[in-house]
């Protein structure tokens, strides 16, 4: 009986550890964003004074459910590091950009638009400060 109790306790602890590991948590302060949508595409601008952690973000209200976007991304960070991954079909990264203290980087990739008209990207910040990025896209 005592052994069974220890196994149950171990299972509960293991579940808690796995749940905490699965929580990727993301925090940011001083965040601002703006978006524009047009007939052929649009733009998303985001800035944050501080950011830390990992989060999946969405471009929403896109008029081409099930389609694709071609995106040009520009990213800069004052301190720390910040990474953006554009996500295609099945959640695979089609573009990964990472900037470290004082850098500005840019690149192009594609994003899948789901049946709800949303395209996803993932951000990962490590003690990042003065973050700015722009995703300019066209519908395909």
Residue ranges of the domains in the chain? 26-139
The CA distances from residue 31 to 11, 114, 118, 122, in Å, are: 39, 26, 21, 16
Going by C-alpha positions, the residue among 121, 106, 123, 135 that lies closest to residue 51 is 123
pLDDT of 22 above 90: no
Query: Under CATH, which number does the domain 26-139 receive?
Result: 2.60.120
Helices (H), the chain: 2-22
The mean pLDDT of 53-68, rounded to a whole number, is: 95
Residue 84: burial class (beta carbons within 10 Å; 0-12, 13-18, 19+): buried
**Quick count: other Cβ atoms within 10 Å of Cβ 94?**
20
| pTM of model > 0.85 | no
CA Rg value for the chain: 19
Apex 56 CA angle, 67 and 116, nearest 5 = 35
pLDDT at site 24: 55
Buried b (16+ CB within 10 A) or exposed e, 107-117: eebbbbbeeeb
pLDDT of 64 above 60: yes
Mean per-residue pLDDT of the chain: 88
pLDDT of 87 above 60: yes
């Amino acid at each position: 009986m005592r052994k069974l109790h220890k196994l149950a306790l171990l299972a509960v602890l293991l579940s808690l550890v796995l749940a905490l590991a699965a929580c990727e948590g993301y925090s940011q302060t001083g965040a601002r964003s703006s978006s524009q949508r047009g007939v052929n595409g649009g733009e998303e601008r985001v800035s944050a004074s501080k950011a830390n952690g990992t989060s999946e973000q969405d471009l929403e209200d896109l008029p081409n459910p099930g389609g694709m976007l071609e995106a040009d991304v520009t990213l800069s960070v004052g301190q720390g590091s910040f990474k953006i991954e554009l996500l295609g079909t099945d959640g695979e990264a089609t573009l990964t950009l990472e900037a470290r203290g004082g850098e500005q980087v840019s690149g192009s990739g594609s994003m899948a638009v789901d049946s709800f008209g949303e395209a996803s990207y993932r951000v990962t910040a490590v003690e990042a400060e003065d973050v700015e990025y722009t995703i300019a896209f066209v519908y395909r």
